Amino acid sequence: MTYPLETIRHSYAHVLAAAIQRLFPDVRFGVGPVIENGFYYDILLPKAIGGEDLPKIEQEMKRIIKQNLKFEREETGIDEAIAFFQKTNQPFKVELLKDLKMKGTTAMSEEEQKTIGKEVKTVSIYKTGGFVDLCRGPHVASTKELPADAFRLTKIAGAYWRGSEKNPMLTRIYGAGFIAKKDLDKYLWQQEEIKKRDHRVLGEKLKLFTFAEEVGPGLPLWLPNGTILRDEIENYAKEIEKKWGYRRVATPHIAKETLYRMSGHIPYYAESMFPPMKLDDGNYYLKAMNCPHTHMIYKSEPKSYRDLPLRLAEYGTVYRYELSGTLAGLLRTRGFTQNDAHIYCREDQVEAEFLKVMKLHEFWYKKVFGIKDFYMRLSLPAKDKAKYADIPEGWKKSVEMIRRSMQNSKLPFVEAEGEAAFYGPKVDFQIKSIVGREETASTNQLDFLAAQRFNLNYRDKDGKDKPVYVIHRAPLGSHERFIAFLIEHFAGAFPLWLAPVQAWILPIGKAHKKYAARIAKELQAVDIRAELKDQNETVGKKIREGENQKIPYLLIVGDKEMKNESVAVRKRAKGDLGAVKFKKFLARIKEEIVKKK
């Protein structure tokens, strides 16, 4: 029988608990839910265990799997279940059951509900050999149906019972589980690669960015190499957006409180903004978003229906207050620069414009960066309407227009409740790196409230004022988050056009330095980022360092190369390509950069 992956993982969690009970009979069990890529179980032991104990627990799990023990389900009254777990000295199970009996599911976490279920009068328990657990299931029929080579216990961590520091600290044992060994092998490879590709480690190694306590946490300082990455992406984005009909604007880094009250960000968004600066003419805030400023540009002169759609783009730097404990390298910062734009359009233009926005995303991800694994998430308002603009008809119409655009794009998407912006539904683009790490690359929103708050109108062909719709879009999100993703996706080996340093020229000896310097100068003259490495070191050492720094091309020159006006080419990941006439190599590298291969 073929089982869903969630069922497989849920069953692994029970086998883990059964193995722990055999090895540590005095164990007290919390909950053991399925999570992304696997499962975990929270336990309380009389003595601490560590990572060195995981292989022993794994071996016991494999013995249980081999024994072909059945997963036996039994329905029982909630009082009978309480009595059973009291008798077997499982206080955490008793607490859950009493809570379930008295309050239903209102006081239970989502993980607890997933594991236990939502029934109040009766509950289900599962028996696997000598192990009995409170669980709603389902499970495989017997342990032998679980692949013994497709799971791995991955780590041990601490976790407060039910997430409260007032409760006991439990030991949480994590495991990865899959249907086949090849899937586990791929996952384990990805985890190792993620460690190697950590953008913070590579950022330091490749000299891309740094942080300084004196500047403040979450405020990155871009080094020369990292600034090249920023500039190359920004320059190309400006070139592409010009072709797609965008016009560039620029706005200041601060604004009066009046502007953010007009936009509605105060009070809806105030907790994410830095405290106000009190000046002689009122309170000013650091800019947390570009849109209110751009709206004032739209308002600066009257617009006709012929002027629309108007696409205004800006690389705008914004500042948001994030708790210091949540900051994570470039992935979560307090200051970042967005590839932002706002499209002002008529209602009859919304769907076509939103479709173009999605196609622009597809262009960047698939064609430019080779990111094939991505999807969209349509975020809708939650049932609790207190956090959203109270305009039901506006919400309904906006959601319908966006949904049709997404369907027409032929790109994959899902829908999620409760993640919309306060002024309209939004579409997040989720991208996955080569090692499976998923990030939100950009957020795109349809705003039907801005026209009302800012009096954003256009004159129709009959001379009447009509409100505009505003599309907020940022295909590349922020430089900080997107570059962090690219660092990890490419493991620091950026495409040639994006690489901070594109070529090193390595003279073999002193006699070749002059020729090597000429080669470097000719490359630099046509804006190729080349560096002469003429230190008194062996060529072998320079090659190893160049490969360590992930330089796309290493050009070695000696007697033969000087005589033939050539260079010996080593290409990253491909090795020695042999000698090539320099003029031919120059034409080749220029073409590769222009085409952004």
Q: Beta partners for 157?
A: 172
184: helix, strand or coil:
helix
Give the integer Cα–Cα distance in Å for 416 and 401: 16
Catalytic residue among 342, 489, 529, 570: 342
The reply, when asked if residue 345 is annotated as ligand binding, is: no
CA atoms of 177 and 34, how far apart (whole Å): 10
Residue matched to tokens 């009389």: 46
- In the DSSP assignment, the letter for residue 424 is B
Report the greatest alpha carbon distance in the chain.
93
Residues in the chain: 597
HSE (side-chain half, CA atoms, 13 Å) at 140: 24
Active-site residue, selected from the candidate residues 472, 473, 529, 542: 472
Q: Which single residue is written with the structure tokens 């330095």?
A: 513
Residue that the structure tokens 């946490």 belong to: 217
Task: Choose the catalytic residue: 42, 133, 340, 447.
Answer: 340
The β-bridge partners of 230 are: none
Q: Which of 21, 90, 338, 502 is catalytic?
A: 338
Catalytic residue (choose from 291, 334, 445, 533): 291
Rounded Cα–Cα distance for residues 449 and 65 (Å): 58
Answer yes or no: 342 catalytic.
yes
Cα 2 from Cα 10, distance rounded (Å): 15
Burial label for 65, CB within 10 Å (0-12, 13-18, 19+), is buried
* CA dist., res. 405 & res. 420, Å (int): 17
Lookup: tokens for 361 = 């995303």
CA distance 146 to 16: 12
Name the active-site residue from 93, 320, 473, 529.
320
Please state, in angstroms and as integers, the Cα–Cα distance from residue 395 to each residue in 92, 147, 149, 377, 557, following that order.
44, 48, 50, 17, 66
Residue 340 annotated in active site: yes
Which member of 9, 199, 426, 479 is catalytic?
Answer: 426
Q: Which of 18, 15, 47, 42 is nearest to 30 (CA)?
A: 42
Burial tier of 13 (Cβ tally within 10 Å: 0-12, 13-18, 19+): buried
* Rounded Cα–Cα distance for residues 289 and 295 (Å): 12
Q: What is the CA radius of gyration of the chain?
A: 30
Chain-centre distance for alpha carbon 75: 42
Give yes or no: 338 in active site.
yes
d(CA 528, CA 546): 17
Q: Is residue 320 among the annotated active site residues?
A: yes
Say whether 342 counts as a known binding-site residue: yes
**Collapsed DSSP state (helix, strand, coil) of residue 397:** helix
On whether the CB atoms of residues 471 and 342 are closer than 8 A, the answer is yes
**Which residue has 């009046």 as its token pair?**
258
Q: Is 291 annotated as a binding residue?
A: yes
**Residue 567 one-letter amino acid:** V
Structure tokens at 62: 């494999």
Q: What is the DSSP string of 223-247?
A: -HHHHHHHHHHHHHHHHHHHHTT-E
Residue numbers in the known binding site are: 291, 342, 472
Residue numbers in the known binding site for Zn(2+) are: 291, 342, 472
Enumerate the active-site residues.
291, 320, 338, 340, 342, 426, 472
